[in-house]
Amino acid sequence: MDLKAAVSRLYALVARLVARYPGVIALFGFASGVASFVLVDRQAGLAKVLSLIMLVSWLWLILESSLRRAIERWFGWKVPAPLLHYATQLVHQETLFFIIPFFFVTTAWNSGQALFTGLLGAAALVSLIDPLYYRWLARRRWLYLGFHVLTLFAVLLTALPIILHLSTPQSYQLALGIAVLLALPSLGALFPGGGWRRALSVLGLALVVGLAGWFGRTWVPPATLWLTDVAVTTDFDGATRQPGDSLDQLTNAQLHANGLYAYTAINAPRGLKERIYHDWLHDGRRVDRIALDINGGREAGYRAWSHKRNFPRDAAGRWRVRVVTEAGQMIGQLSFRVAPDRPSPP
């Protein structure tokens, strides 16, 4: 049997099966995404393999049209259009369901990070619902490319620390740069015609997108860092690195007597070295910042703590300890209240 004819026949068969059972793609994407998260959490080596597969699949997605033409020119194989459409949809589903569990765990839901993770969740739903994906998204080229870029940006935030052991700031800068670069075709679709004015408009809008991504980084969760244990306490055992009972409220006198420990155990990929900060805020105003260095790989999370003694004389009010990366992304926060001292009886 002629090899080309056999391959074409196989393509057609796969395309018919995919068209007949489209729900299998959605089920496979969801199941493999959840399985990926469980395996990544337990085996760093397998995490690298899964992340590389995601990135390689994205290379195919970006070069889809060029590769299709090259295959047809070199081998004479015409890849069926339905198969390409479903393959692209599968890559979107696989990518989104691979990364969403990470962002779901790392998102501080009482902050602006909920908007970014919610946007990824909405994108995942669109990729699952064929009428939305094909009739609404795919027919708008600029929106479709933007969908590509958002998903790629998110998967790079997840994969780069795992594969290259880059710090969170390095991963964010690299992911944002790649996303803006690949957004240029999508932005170009907004400006029909040609010439230098169009080029300047596209570059100007790309700069705006890049700046918005950089200044909005506090709304983007650090995908591979999350808190596994936290405590605000007046007691801490330095030998065993175990905190005392966690407090929700204490008096001004208790606070000044012993100071206060903020204890955080942070899950991070194996091999990752990261500098984080404990930002101490009193009634919304930052009063102290304490730098801490963590190392990834410990299953229960890397244990880090700060001990603050220099509180204002009247420290009554609402306190928070925000755990943030060097890029300003919030990993999580601890909160407690300080009650005013009762006046002494006359």
Calculate the average pLDDT of the chain: 79
Q: Same structural domain for residues 74 and 212?
A: yes
Give the pLDDT band (50/70/90) at residue 166: confident
Rounded average pLDDT over 226-240:
89
Which residue, 173, 202, 219, sits at the end of a domain? 219
Rounded average pLDDT over 40-68:
59
Q: What is the pLDDT of residues 92-115, one digit of tens each?
A: 877 787 788 888 888 988 888 999
Q: Same structural domain for residues 16 and 123?
A: yes
The radius of gyration of the chain's CA atoms, rounded to the nearest angstrom, is 25
Chain centre to alpha carbon of residue 179? 14
Give the pLDDT band (50/70/90) at residue 21: low
Under a CB-based contact definition with an 8 Å cutoff, are residues 231 and 290 in contact?
A: no
Amino acid at 65: S
pLDDT at 50: 54
Q: Kindly state whether residue 345 falls inside one of the protein's structural domains.
A: no
Q: Same structural domain for residues 208 and 67?
A: yes
DSSP annotation of 343 reads P
Q: Same structural domain for residues 121 and 48?
A: yes
**Total number of domains in the chain:** 2
Q: Same structural domain for residues 236 and 299?
A: yes
Q: Kindly state whether residue 344 falls inside one of the protein's structural domains.
A: no
Under a CB-based contact definition with an 8 Å cutoff, are residues 274 and 225 in contact?
A: yes
Q: Which domain holds residue 91?
A: 3-219
The alpha helices in the chain, defined as continuous H runs, are: 3-20, 22-42, 44-62, 64-75, 81-106, 113-128, 130, 141-164, 168-188, 196-215, 252-258
Q: Same structural domain for residues 234 and 205?
A: no
Q: Same structural domain for residues 49 and 164?
A: yes
Q: What is the pLDDT of residues 61-73, one digit of tens each?
A: 666 666 667 767 7
Q: Same structural domain for residues 255 and 273?
A: yes
Q: Same structural domain for residues 174 and 243?
A: no
Q: What is the CATH number of the domain that holds 239?
A: 2.60.40.1930
Of the candidates 312, 319, 325, 329, the one whose C-alpha atom is nearest the C-alpha of residue 285 is: 319
Under a CB-based contact definition with an 8 Å cutoff, are residues 332 and 227 in contact?
A: yes
Q: What is the pLDDT of residues 294-310, one digit of tens each?
A: 887 777 788 999 999 99
- Sheet with 302-308, strands from edge to edge, namely 226-233, 260-267, 302-308
Q: Kindly state whether residue 346 falls inside one of the protein's structural domains.
A: no
Give the pLDDT band (50/70/90) at residue 43: very low
Tell me, letter by letter, the H, E, C secondary structure of 267-290.
ECCCCCEEEEEEEEEECCEEEEEE
Q: Same structural domain for residues 198 and 254?
A: no
Give the pLDDT band (50/70/90) at residue 42: very low
Residues 47, 39: Cα–Cα separation, whole Å: 7
Q: What is the pLDDT of residues 264-287, one digit of tens each?
A: 999 887 777 889 999 999 998 999
- In Å, how far are 15, 112, 226, 282 from 332, measured between CA atoms? 45, 12, 7, 16
Under a CB-based contact definition with an 8 Å cutoff, are residues 239 and 256 in contact?
A: no
Amino acid at 81: A
Q: Which of 138-147, 162-171, 175-184, 197-206 has the lowest mean pLDDT?
A: 138-147
Which residue, 155, 188, 219, sits at the end of a domain? 219
Q: Same structural domain for residues 193 and 299?
A: no
Which residue, 175, 200, 219, sits at the end of a domain? 219
Q: Same structural domain for residues 304 and 196?
A: no
Give the pLDDT band (50/70/90) at residue 292: very high
